[in-house]
């Protein structure tokens, strides 16, 4: 008798596509909900003001008269900028200020980071002390340095007279020649601590084994610094360079408290010119045109520096 065997074919297991799609959709929704607060703040407090500033740069508007009195003026604001000595002098001063302050602050920050990276007694204390100027109020810093740079009885001029016999020392903030260099000195002193701690974090992330291999190959201190430390600190240097340029173009507090842009226009920087045009003469359209020019310059410099950084990184990989 023939036996009947049931057909026990294994059922094919198909992936549950709808279930996976719903899980992926839930993950996407959760991700968008997490980034929504940040994007909302960015849109309301960054992107929207930038768009409004760009619009205002083509208008004449006294904000005391209300938004209804905005008058379209075309490119007149941009055309008038080239004939404004306050704007041209502020661009020159800001450029000189950036060229001097950013590299000097970074170099001194790296120097102190190298010192702090060594085994020192109670390392937390010098790190705190060097960072204090960066978190100190600009008004307090201005008061301290105005006293130090006082033309008549300031400690710096007294030191120059007693030590070097300079009978006619600089009048610093009261001099159209020395006011900007004095402002640079104050800014460099204030920013060294921040640069030093950022560089210190970069130094401590470099594997010690790289230095040991270089030492075995006979590399001295300078060779190790040039071939190991500097290349591996290039991302940190890029970060500090970008933030330093942005900060230099936005310098305002020290100028407003110490010199108010004077004597003459010797310490007038772009941020103070924007403030002066907008809140002293109530020319918001003209001030917005200055702000747009400053934004374009900062974005251009950032892009160029980013491209240079990309080339350096590609060269190191090759």
Cα dist. 251→95, 115, 258, 259, 269 in Å?
A: 12, 29, 12, 13, 7
10 Å CB burial of residue 62 (0-12, 13-18, 19+) is middle
State the pLDDT at residue 8: 47
Instruction: Verify that 197 and 302 share a domain, yes or no.
Output: yes
In this structure, the answer to whether residues 166 and 250 fall within a common structural domain is: yes
Q: Phi, psi at residue 269, to the nearest 5°?
A: -115, 170
Q: Would residue 62 count as lying in a domain?
A: no
If one counts every other C-beta atom within 10 angstroms of the C-beta of residue 114, the result is 15
pLDDT at residue number 28? 82
In a domain, 73, yes or no: no
Helix (H, G, I), strand (E, B) or coil at 82: coil
Position 256 in a domain: yes
**Number of independent structural domains in the chain:** 2
**pLDDT for position 27:** 78
Q: Are residues 214 and 117 in the same domain?
A: yes
Is 202 contained in some domain?
yes
**Do 32 and 157 belong together in one domain?**
no
Q: Are residues 170 and 234 in the same domain?
A: yes
Query: What is the reported pLDDT for 195?
Result: 97
Same domain, 119 and 38: no
Among the three residues 6, 26, 56, which one is the final residue of a domain in this structure?
Answer: 56
List, as one string, the DSSP characters of 167-229: SS---GGG-TTTHHHHHHHHHHHHHHHHHHHHHHHHHHTS-HHHHHHHHHTT--HHHHIIIII
- Domain of residue 47 covers 17-56
Are residues 144 and 91 part of one domain?
yes
- On whether both 47 and 177 belong to a single domain, the answer is no
pLDDT for position 22: 72
Asked if 26 and 157 sit in the same domain, the reply is no
CA separation for the pair 98, 168 (Å, rounded): 29
CB 296 within 8 A of CB 290: no
How buried is 80 (Cβ within 10 angstroms: 0-12 exposed, 13-18 middle, 19+ buried)? middle
- pLDDT lower than 70: segments of the chain: 1-20, 119-122, 312-318
- Show the tokens assigned to 271: 């941020």
């Amino acid at each position: 008798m023939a036996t009947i065997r049931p057909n026990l074919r294994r059922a094919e297991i198909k992936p549950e596509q709808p279930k996976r799609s719903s899980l992926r959709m839930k993950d996407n929704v959760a991700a968008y909900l997490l980034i929504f607060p940040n994007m909302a703040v960015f849109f309301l407090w960054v992107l929207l003001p930038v768009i409004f500033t760009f619009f205002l740069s083509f208008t004449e508007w006294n904000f005391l008269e209300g938004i209804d009195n905005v008058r379209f003026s075309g490119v007149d604001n941009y055309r008038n900028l080239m004939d404004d000595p306050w704007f041209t002098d502020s661009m020159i001063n800001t450029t000189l200020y950036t060229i001097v302050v950013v590299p000097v602050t970074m170099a001194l920050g790296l120097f102190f980071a190298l010192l702090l990276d060594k085994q020192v007694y109670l390392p937390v204390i010098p790190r705190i002390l060097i960072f204090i100027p960066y978190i100190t109020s600009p008004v307090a810093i201005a008061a301290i340095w105005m006293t130090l740079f006082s033309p008549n009885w300031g400690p710096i001029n007294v030191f120059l007279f007693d030590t070097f016999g300079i009978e006619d020392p600089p009048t610093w903030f009261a001099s159209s020649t020395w006011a900007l260099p004095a402002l640079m000195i104050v800014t460099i002193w204030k920013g060294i601590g921040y640069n030093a701690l950022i560089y210190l974090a970069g130094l401590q992330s470099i594997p010690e084994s790289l230095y040991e291999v270089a030492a075995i190959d006979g590399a001295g201190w300078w060779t190790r610094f040039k071939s190991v430390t500097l290349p591996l600190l290039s991302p940190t240097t890029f970060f500090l360079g970008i933030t330093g340029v942005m900060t230099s173009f936005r310098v305002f507090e020290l100028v407003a408290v110490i010199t108010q842009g004077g004597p003459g226009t010797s310490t007038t920087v772009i941020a103070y010119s924007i403030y002066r045009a907008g809140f002293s003469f109530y020319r918001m359209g003209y001030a917005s045109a200055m702000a747009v020019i400053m934004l374009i310059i900062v974005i251009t410099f950032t892009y160029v520096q980013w491209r240079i950084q990309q080339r350096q990184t590609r060269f190191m990989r090759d």
